[in-house]
Amino acid sequence: MKRILTGIKPSGKVQLGNYFGMIKEVVALQDKYEVFLMIADLHAQTVPYQPQELKFWTYELASSLLALGIDPKKTILFRQSDVPAHLYLYWILGCLSYFGELQLMHEFKEQAERYKKQGVGVGIFMYPVLQAADVLIYNADLVPVGQDQVQHLELTRELARRFNKRFGRIFKIPEIYLKEETAKIMSLDDPSKKMSKSLPEGCLEIFAEEKEIRDKIKKAVTDSGQEIKYDPQNKPGISNLMIIYKYLTNKTLVEIEQEFSGLGYGDFKEKIIEAFFDYFRTSREKKKKIKKEKVEKILNQGAKKANKVAEENLKRILKIVGLR
Ligand code: AMP
């Protein structure tokens, strides 16, 4: 059975981009693949954070994933920091990485700009290497991610090739699993940026209060003109809303254009709100019933399974690089 590894940072509530970019795919893939789904708590440390909040968001994220359809009988759901082998391989791969190539990462450039006053952390600079270790320590075949992570995955593939060439063939070269159309949900208040927990105004959190969701959709940036027409170049706001509506309703863009022909942006937004609650109703109810103890048990079981695979691979790696 082919193996999948993917992760998500516990830095806030799950948002629509996480869901359509990654979680939905993993829910579909867990029937056919062996899935390792990691709560990337070490990655969450790359930007300023509060220790108590990190703990809180870890449980919050795990319960959200369960409510959204991740099945712990099929998927190994675990906390990254519970598997020390990731960090061991991170160091080894870091010694194979070049300063120049890490400097080229878009996410690093973005974060470096954002934190330039406070000082840019080395964690942000190195985190694509940790991400490579996350994937390679399980020898994953496939990594489902959103478009924003493709560059990091290209680096993972490159580091795997470099390691194999230098020390001997240990790693599979993982494939990037990307669904083109679902791959990038843009911010509701600035459709030139991706929807992200770090831009809260334009971020639609799946388990937020009903009023907040309604308000954010109503306030979503639209474009000049009145037509509901898919045109990402000239109408990025409406086009992003159409993509969201498309995935909430399973309708095609042409069907959506027809449905709203002659109607205004206000009508369209009302329908998006309705579709959002229809789509996520069951998950929102399910989440309220998930207890912390249950989440803890699932994460502990996941950690055991993940450690077993990661430690076995680490043994082979330590041997081949000359540490054992
Ligand atoms: P993060 O929240 O940054 O840990 O991302 C977790 C997963 O969600 C990754 O696979 C990302 O590619 C995906 N993702 C995050 N934001 C978006 C977005 N706006 N559109 C599509 N996918 C996203």
- In tens, the pLDDT along 277-294 reads 999 999 999 999 999 999
- pLDDT value at residue 182: 59
Q: Are residues 147 and 257 in the same domain?
A: no
CATH of the domain at 145: 3.40.50.620
User: What is the model's pLDDT at position 226?
Assistant: 87
Do 232 and 248 share a domain, yes or no?
yes
Residue 188 in domain: no
**Number of folded domains in the chain?**
2
Assess if residue 195 is contained within a domain.
Answer: no
147 and 264 share one domain: no
Do 283 and 300 reside in the same domain of the chain? no
Tell me, in angstroms, the distance from the centre of ligand 1 to residue 283's CA: 19
d(CA 280, CA 175): 30
- Ligand 1 pocket: which residues have CB below 6 Å? 8-9, 17-18, 21-22, 40, 145-146, 148-149, 183-185, 194-196
Q: Per the domain annotation, does 52 fall within a domain?
A: yes
pLDDT tens string 114-155: 888 989 999 999 999 999 999 999 999 999 887 889 999 999
Q: Which atom of ligand 1 is nearest to the CA of 195?
A: 19
Q: What distance in angstroms lies between residue 244's CA and the mean position of ligand 1's atoms?
A: 15
Are 97 and 240 part of one and the same domain? no
The candidate with the shortest Cα–Cα distance to 136, out of 159, 111, 113, 106, is: 159
Is 61 a domain residue? Answer: yes
DSSP output for 179-248:
-TTTS-PBPSS-TTSB--TTSGGG--BTTS-HHHHHHHHHH----SSS-----TTT-HHHHHHHHHHHHH
Residue to mutate, 8, 13, 18, 45, ligand 1, most ligand atoms under 8 Å from C-beta = 18
Identify whether residues 93 and 222 lie together within a single domain: no
The pLDDT score that the predictor gives to residue 84 is 98
User: In terms of domains, do 153 and 208 share one?
Assistant: no
Residue 224, pLDDT score: 86
Q: What's the confidence (pLDDT) of residue 148?
A: 84
Give residue 225's pLDDT band: very low, low, confident or very high (50, 70, 90): confident
User: Apex CA 65: angle with CA 219 and CA 239, to 5°?
Assistant: 30
Q: What pTM does this model have? A: 0.94
Indicate if 167 and 231 belong to the same structural domain: no
- The Å distance, Cα 146 to ligand 1 centre, comes to 5
The per-residue pLDDT for 180 is 66
Residues 279 and 148 in one domain: no
Given the CA of residue 186, which atom of ligand 1 is nearest to it?
Answer: 19
Residues 144, 209: one domain? no
**Is 192 contained in some domain?**
no
The domain that contains 212 carries what CATH number? 1.10.240.10
The ligand 1 atom at the shortest distance from the C-alpha of residue 8 is 4
Given a cut of 70, whether residue 181 has pLDDT beyond it is no
Euclidean distance between CA atoms 117 and 120, whole angstroms: 8
Whether residue 280 sits in one domain with residue 162: no
CA distance 172 to 319: 17
What does residue 252 show for φ and ψ, rounded to 5 degrees? -85, 165
* DSSP at 291: -
Q: What is the mean pLDDT of residues 302-307?
A: 98
The larger pLDDT score, comparing residue 183 to residue 117, is at 117
Q: Could you tell which of 15, 16, 20, 22 is best to mutate to test the pocket of ligand 1, judged by most ligand atoms within 8 Å of the CB?
A: 22
pLDDT digits (tens, 9 = 90+) for 12-71: 899 999 999 889 999 999 999 999 999 999 999 998 899 999 999 999 999 999 999 999
Long-range CB contacts (within 8 A, 24+) of 297-301: 298/62, 298/66, 298/72, 298/77, 299/39, 299/62, 299/77, 299/78, 299/79, 299/82, 300/82, 301/72
- pLDDT attached to residue 48: 86
Q: Decide: helix, strand or coil at residue 75.
A: strand
Q: Is residue 312 part of a domain?
A: yes
The helix, strand and coil proportions of the chain, stated in percent and rounded to the nearest 5, come to 55, 10, 35
Answer left, alpha or beta for residue 6, where phi above 0 means left and psi between -120 and 50 means alpha: beta
In a domain, 190, yes or no: no
Parent domain of 96:
3-183+293-320
Residue 40, in any domain of the structure = yes
Amino acid 87: pLDDT: 98
Ligand 1, atom 8, lies closest to the CA of 18
Same domain as 85, residue 25:
yes
Residue 197's pLDDT is what? 82
